[in-house]
Structure 1
Amino acid sequence: MFDIKEIRSQFPILNQQVNGKPLIYLDNAASSQKPISVLETWQKYYEEINANVHRGIHTLSQLATEEMENSRKKVQHFINAKHDYEVIFTRGTTEGINLIAYSLGNSNFIKKDDEIIISYLEHHSNIVPWQMLCERTGAKLKVIPIDENGILQLDFLDQNLSEKTKIVSVNQVSNALGVINPIEEIIAKVRKLSSALMVVDGAQSVPHFEIDVQKLDCDFFVFSGHKMYAPMGVGILYGKEEILEKMQPFHGGGEMIATCSFDKTTYAGLPFKFEAGTPNVGGNIALGAAVNFMKKVGVQNIRNHENTLLEYAQKKLLEIDGLKIYGEKAKRAGVVSFNLEGVGIASDVGMILDKLGIAVRTGHHCTQPIMDFFNVAGTVRASFAVFNTLEEIDALAEGVKKAQRMLM
């Protein structure tokens, strides 16, 4: 049974007021709120264990190591990775993509005039690292275009995939529009038409979908914990074993070495080759608690609930004259991104909503190319999670109407 009242009771932050109004938190695409089970797991680590991992023979160090490695295994099963050592702890999606780009660049995988393909729908984190790699190596960046609904034009791949293509990196869900990209079709085209490595940015899909990296047959899959009810500063890079083995380390330092001398250093095996330094132990353990939370509620139950919210939000918002939803006709997940005709600055709408206790995101959402395509400076973005309700959508719609009356 999906009991929204019971679910909401697990999120203590929802009990507070903002500007004298009950908090309505609709900024989950930026960062989701945390359930008690995750908060208590993080606190328990620091209150009862608080030791470094992998380095000590004392009891607390061994307990910390066991808890963190158990969390790695939870993530492995959550995304159906073949091996737990294919699961690399990072600080988030951004670091995961940078790790891939830097390491492949240092591994002599990318050469002058090679090609890297991304899409128009990417977050800056899936644009800038590839631009930097192209600048270092002389490779060329190509971009899959979109149509007026924010839908990728995949015939671009038929025309541009070749043996020159070394990397294709695409998000599964757009953070700015919520558009769901046909990632299975994209991967199938990549496998058929080139030998390129396939990178999937799953930052916005993991909170909403069941993920099976083996079924997808992607080479890399990256995501952040803080968008799926875990703490900030925690993320995952999944990579196929045979590819990770060939890659050079991203950071140098402690933990990632097998042997170290002034003459030569050799590197540890997976996953530790890519986990230099003291990790975010408490956060990594709490990520496992977030996985447990999502599995207990049921990922499909979360998806169904959020679909109901999205459909209802689109219906209510489109009843407002002069409101435009971007990507309205595309298949979407968890996000409605809109503007009011005649209101030039999205942040003005966001500030009025904030006075009503409603938290939304305004601006370009780290996706300036998308905003340029639609010829806007930014949008108002409401994004949903398992704890949101239809009544909150009603409040959002009424708040937007009030903002419209005040700003027109």
Structure 2
Amino acid sequence: MPGVGFLLDYESIRSDFPIFRERPGLVYLDNAATTQKPRRVIEAVEAFYRRSNANVARGLYELAVEATRLYEEAHEKVAGFIGARGPGEVVFTRSASDSANMAAYMLLLSGVVRRGSKIIATVMEHHSNLLPWRTVARLAGARLELAPVRPRDGRLDLDVLLSMVDDETAVVAVTHASNVLGYVNPVREIAREARRHGALVVVDAAQSAPHMPLDVYSLGADMLFFSGHKMLGPTGIGVLWVRGDRLEELEPPFQGGGIVKSVRLEGGELRVELAESPWRFEPGTPHIAGAVGLAAAVEYLAEIGMERVEAHEKTLLGYALRRLGEVPGFQPVSTETAERLGIVAFNMEGHTPHAVALALGMEGVAVRAGFHCAEPLHRSLGLERGTVRASFYIYNGPEDIDRLAEALEKLARATG
């Protein structure tokens, strides 16, 4: 593509993904919902079940020791990937949504969220980073307040958010990157203001961890979460990172086998001594194979280099906005490229989002339509029927965007 330079050899990367061989012609642009899986991840999960399957942290026989080693190594690899200071800060969950709920209930049980306190979130949050805080606020007798976005472009109104933080604020919950518009929020600045008032910062990194370098301590967050399946890993595995100096003061929200060192009956009461983190936050049999697969995904991305991943997507974003801008009736929500990841939300004049997505699907182009679990954001921007969302990743190239544009042009001609 003349004039367009790509840091990644996306064609070679695509050859690592069996689905593109199984489904030739597939243009997969629904990466913000979930990503495809490289052969290495698929083989890691299969190899675990073939050769190493056993429960973890209990057995002393060879198979159990091997399974435990792999599971603990997965914590270590994820910790290194996000800049954590040790595997004890990395808690494996079922998903990003599960992590968000876990974070909210941890802070409720530990008395951080209490009667009369305030939780601040934003209008641009995914529902997974809104609904748990709504419930916890109700249970605690606290209140949930939402910072707005700017109506002209959908970016977070940072000045308003910062003005909302006061000494009553217990938690600021904010997405690192919007799953609709791809905007990257200034978490460091938000965290500085929150810390000045003694508030904790919980960051939704589901859309940032797969697409850009992430250093949790540099961000200034207290808790941060993301999912495995959006970053080449298996479904059913998520991550909740907790700052090390917060671990001891947080109450595990879920109870069960594996979280304790000891449970004794003394004087008719149960006396419980909790295990070290992360075990104290991971009750029951975990998704061991999912953790092994996530570790393989993290290794794959680290070998590519997250700076290069981010740069590749930014190049795709710029090309997409130029190429799609030539399509009659194309209506992007934003044409900005600064501080933004590889997501384009748009509508087509005269068509509902779902009609556009259906037409694209018939042409072999996979996108998402609707509110994308961010209905308040859409309604605040007057997008009452939602948007179509095309989202890019390491195996996408300019020809994928050309196919998207050609399918949209075909739709425009058919109804013009």
Give the TM-score normalised by structure 1: 0.96
Q: Identity over the aligned pairs, expressed in percent?
A: 40
In structure 1, the partner of 2:395 is: 387
In structure 2, the partner of 1:229 is: 232
**Residue 341 (structure 1) shift:** 1.8
Q: SS at the partner of 2:154?
A: coil
**Residue 361 (structure 1) shift:** 0.5
In structure 2, the partner of 1:243 is: 246
- Conserved in 1, the CA contact under 8 Å of 2:187 and 2:220? no
Work out the CA distance in 2 between the residues paired with 1:117 and 1:109. 13
Picking from 2, 10, 19, the partner of 1:13 is: 19
Work out the CA distance in 2 between the residues paired with 1:59 and 1:371. 53
CA RMSD, 1 decimal: 1.4
Picking from 376, 379, 385, the partner of 1:372 is: 379
Q: Given residue 364 of structure 2, which amino acid in structure 1 is its aligned partner?
A: G
Q: Given residue 98 of structure 2, which amino acid in structure 1 is its aligned partner?
A: E
Task: Summarize deviations over 1:381-405 as a string: whole Å, max 9, x none.
Answer: 0001100010110000011112223
Structural mapping, 1:141-220, within 5 Å: 141-147=144-150, 148-192=152-196, 194-220=197-223
Work out the CA distance in 2 between the residues paired with 1:233 and 1:407. 42
**Greater mean alpha carbon deviation, residues 158-167 or residues 59-68:** 158-167
Q: SS at the partner of 1:388?
A: coil
Picking from 76, 82, 86, the partner of 1:83 is: 86
Distance 1:31 1:158, change over 3 A: closer
**Residue 369 (structure 1) shift:** 0.3
Does residue 120 (structure 1) correspond to residue 123 (structure 2)? The answer is yes
Work out the CA distance in 1 between the residues paired with 2:414 and 2:185. 37
In structure 1, the partner of 2:363 is: 356
**Residue 189 (structure 1) shift:** 2.2
**Residue 407 (structure 1) shift:** 4.5
Q: Given residue 412 of structure 2, which amino acid in structure 1 is its aligned partner?
A: Q
- Conserved in 2, the CA contact under 8 Å of 1:346 and 1:363? yes
Q: Given residue 6 of structure 1, which amino acid in structure 2 is its aligned partner?
A: S
Work out the CA distance in 1 between the residues paired with 2:283 and 2:257. 5
- Conserved in 2, the CA contact under 8 Å of 1:15 and 1:23? no
Picking from 247, 270, 281, the partner of 1:274 is: 281
Work out the CA distance in 2 between the residues paired with 1:168 and 1:404. 43
In structure 2, the partner of 1:318 is: 325
Q: Given residue 347 of structure 2, which amino acid in structure 1 is its aligned partner?
A: N
Q: Given residue 100 of structure 1, which amino acid in structure 2 is its aligned partner?
A: A
Q: Given residue 11 of structure 1, which amino acid in structure 2 is its aligned partner?
A: F
- Conserved in 2, the CA contact under 8 Å of 1:85 and 1:270? yes
Distance 1:379 1:258, change over 3 A: same
- Conserved in 1, the CA contact under 8 Å of 2:162 and 2:190? no
In structure 1, the partner of 2:413 is: 405
In structure 1, the partner of 2:8 is: 2
Work out the CA distance in 1 between the residues paired with 2:329 and 2:362. 22
Distance 1:342 1:271, change over 3 A: same
Aligned residue-pair number: 403
Work out the CA distance in 1 between the residues paired with 2:184 and 2:371. 19
**Residue 261 (structure 1) shift:** 3.8
Work out the CA distance in 1 between the residues paired with 2:188 and 2:337. 17
- Conserved in 1, the CA contact under 8 Å of 2:106 and 2:250? yes
In structure 1, the partner of 2:3 is: none
Q: SS at the partner of 1:22?
A: coil
- Conserved in 2, the CA contact under 8 Å of 1:176 and 1:337? yes
**Greater mean alpha carbon deviation, residues 222-231 or residues 99-108:** 99-108
- Conserved in 2, the CA contact under 8 Å of 1:150 and 1:330? no
Task: Summarize deviations over 1:4-29 as a string: whole Å, max 9, x none.
Answer: 22211100101233xxx711110000
Q: SS at the partner of 1:72?
A: helix
Q: Which runs of 5+ in 2 are unaligned?
A: 1-6
Work out the CA distance in 1 between the residues paired with 2:233 and 2:415. 37
**Residue 295 (structure 1) shift:** 1.0
In structure 2, the partner of 1:106 is: 109
Q: Given residue 191 of structure 2, which amino acid in structure 1 is its aligned partner?
A: I
Work out the CA distance in 2 between the residues paired with 1:406 and 1:293. 42
In structure 2, the partner of 1:396 is: 404
Give the TM-score normalised by structure 2: 0.94
**Greater mean alpha carbon deviation, residues 319-328 or residues 230-239:** 319-328
**Greater mean alpha carbon deviation, residues 62-71 or residues 236-245:** 236-245
Structural mapping, 1:29-108, within 5 Å: 29-108=32-111
- Conserved in 1, the CA contact under 8 Å of 2:328 and 2:409? no
- Conserved in 2, the CA contact under 8 Å of 1:324 and 1:341? yes
- Conserved in 2, the CA contact under 8 Å of 1:101 and 1:130? yes
